[in-house]
Amino acid sequence: MTEIFIHAGLNKSASTYLQEHFFPLIKDATFFCFHRNLDTGLLREDLGLKKKLIFSDESLLGVPIFLRASCRSEERLSFVRNTKMLFPHAKIILCFREHSAFLISLYKQYLHVGGTLRFQDFFDIANDSGYISKRELFFEERIQMIRENFENEPFIFTDVHLRSHRNKVIKGLLSYVGSSTKFEDLGLPSGKRENRGVGMVQSTLLRQLNRMSASALNPRGLLRLNCRVMRRLRLDPRTLCQDRLRFLSDRELVMPMAAKDYIRKKYANDWLQVLKHVNFEEFYTR
């Protein structure tokens, strides 16, 4: 019988690192990443199913930029219940990121894919009418959903734990999956920075270009700056501002201090509860 492991999020929380540098290297498990396998055409290939299957989609319990309807709590609960019916013995892997760091990273992604809003409109503190609602950023309820619906203990850690205690987290994951793969054989990169975001100065220019360019987030844009030709020439708005115009300034894009203070205070207890659920060391010591 195949063992099922589901990495369900969150997005912007070390998902790229896990999907590129860890999960594919587990020798006795078949790894399937929904959006990456689709993008590379691997669905047309024989995955060679092994006794362990690791499925990764960081948006399942995350806060995606697209597919906004899936962010509602009732939609997440439906996903959890449906997954339980299909894979009642599945084991869930969850990584979290502190709310303010998570939100600014999500905003950078929003700009990368064509967003036009300023940060204060992306996350509206005063009226809660922004692109991202305050309700979406409560994380602990996701853990409760998993614990209430699945019989197996989930594997929970944070991006900070992965950076500061990488060896323990990875060895804990290997133990959780029950893999015979040795940590020393993984050849993991150290200190590799994934998904570098657009800078402060460049973000203003990117928003202006996004306003003019047609995209999924701005279908009324007059110019086709995101077409295949522009991307091939590396002249699309994202590449232009993130890479080619990086020389303009090395200032990092950060959220306003007032917003950061507000977010940390509002979600302080939620983050404290998340940290209480962190359990990677339990599996590392086994």
Task: For residue range 43-80, list pLDDT tens digits in order.
Answer: 545 555 678 999 998 888 888 887 555 455 556 777 78
Look at residue 42 and tell me whether its pLDDT is greater than 70: no
Percentage above 90 pLDDT, the chain: 68
Query: What count of Cα atoms within 13 Å lies in the side-chain half-sphere of residue 281?
Result: 7
Answer yes or no: is pLDDT of 186 > 70. Answer: yes
Residue 108 resides in a domain: no
- DSSP-H helix ranges across 155-199: 159-164, 166-177
The pLDDT of 15-29, averaged and rounded, is: 91
The model's pLDDT over 243-280, given as tens digits with 9 standing for 90+, comes to: 999 999 999 999 999 999 999 999 999 999 999 999 99
Residues 81 and 173 in one domain: yes
Print the domain residue range for 230: 200-252
Residues 179, 236: one domain?
no
Q: What is the pLDDT of residues 200-220, one digit of tens each?
A: 999 999 999 999 999 989 999
DSSP string, 215-273: -SS-TT-SB-TTSHHHHHTT-SHHHIIIIITGGG--PBP---HHHHHHHHHHTHHHHHH
Q: Evaluate if residue 161 carries a pLDDT over 90.
A: yes
- 72 in a domain, yes or no? yes
Does residue 218 fall inside a structural domain?
yes
Q: What's the number of domains the chain is made of?
A: 2
What pLDDT was estimated at residue 138? 94
Pair (63, 168) in one structural domain: yes
Distance CA 51, CA 212 (A): 50
Average pLDDT over residues 22-37: 84
User: Is 146 in the same domain as 273?
Assistant: yes
pLDDT digits (tens, 9 = 90+) for 101-144: 999 999 999 999 999 999 999 999 999 999 999 998 999 999 99
Same domain, 170 and 84: yes
Q: Do 157 and 42 share a structural domain?
A: yes
Is the domain of 210 the same as that of 153?
no
The answer to whether the peptide bond before residue 10 is cis (omega within 30 degrees of 0) is yes
**Segment 187-200, tens digit of pLDDT:** 887 655 555 778 99
